A and B are shown apart, each in its own frame.
Chain A
């Protein structure tokens, strides 16, 4: 079990550019979650997938954000036309899908928008 991995770990970009992050969940986990964490705060839910289906999206996920999980394995989170307010840690978590359905987190991708 290699745990949840995320790539890249850090991303610095200029305002207006597009960025894409990748998450590889624990192999047998069918649920995958994205959260955003700003400095000094707890993570906030963005969206989740069950297998390849994106089943819920938070109001935090504006039209500039899109997430995919094409084959029910890895997932990508893309932010288009980045803004300075998008600067945050983006966390991915996965779970098995059965009670208690504990979520296991990856190391996160820290995004800085200049």
Chain B
């Protein structure tokens, strides 16, 4: 069975600073994808960034980037120039590219950006 672990239940960062959220996963599969989703208070889950396991290059999306270490099964999210609107619960998720392709989520990290 696949598991996803987010060891930081809560984090805070000053506006304009950089923060890194950690995520580790466990799988014996080779063909999989990793995602970071954000869930703002009382709002729906939004995709932040995704990474294909077969790609060595780390994904970036504007202020968001990942550090994907396949051998260590680690997938951290770095947020640069943090903004107040980044305040949200962040979930790391894993998907095996098989028939069902369901997402397995971690327990989340509540990020608060302080003014």
Assess whether B105 is in contact with A56, with CB atoms less than 8 Å apart: no
Tally of chain B residues near chain A (CB < 8 A): 25
Interface SS of B by simple majority: strand
CA distance A51 to B69 in the complex (A): 35
Chain A 54-66, CB within 8 Å of chain B: the 1/0 string? 0110100000000
Contact of B44 among A99, A102, A107 (CB under 8 A): A107
A residues in contact with B33, CB < 8 Å: 100-101
B residues in contact with A103, CB < 8 Å: 103
CA distance A13 to B46 in the complex (A): 28
Shortest C-beta distance, B11 to chain A (Å), equals 15
- Identify which of residues 46-99 in chain B touch chain A, using a CB-to-CB cut-off of 8 Å: 46-47, 50, 52, 91, 93, 95, 97, 99
- Chain A, interface residues (CB within 8 Å), range: 20 to 34
Assess whether A106 is in contact with B107, with CB atoms less than 8 Å apart: no
Shortest C-beta distance, A50 to chain B (Å), equals 9
CA distance A55 to B43 in the complex (A): 29
Assess whether B100 is in contact with A108, with CB atoms less than 8 Å apart: no
Find the B residue at minimum CB distance from A56. Answer: B100
B residues in contact with A41, CB < 8 Å: 107-108
- Identify which of residues 44-79 in chain A touch chain B, using a CB-to-CB cut-off of 8 Å: 44-45, 48, 55-56, 58
Assess whether A105 is in contact with B100, with CB atoms less than 8 Å apart: no
Shortest C-beta distance, B15 to chain A (Å), equals 25
Q: Is B25 an interface residue (CB 8 A)?
A: no
Contact of A105 among B45, B97, B101, B106 (CB under 8 A): B45
Q: Given A106-B44, A107-B43, are A42 and B50 neighbors across the interface (CB < 8 Å)?
A: no
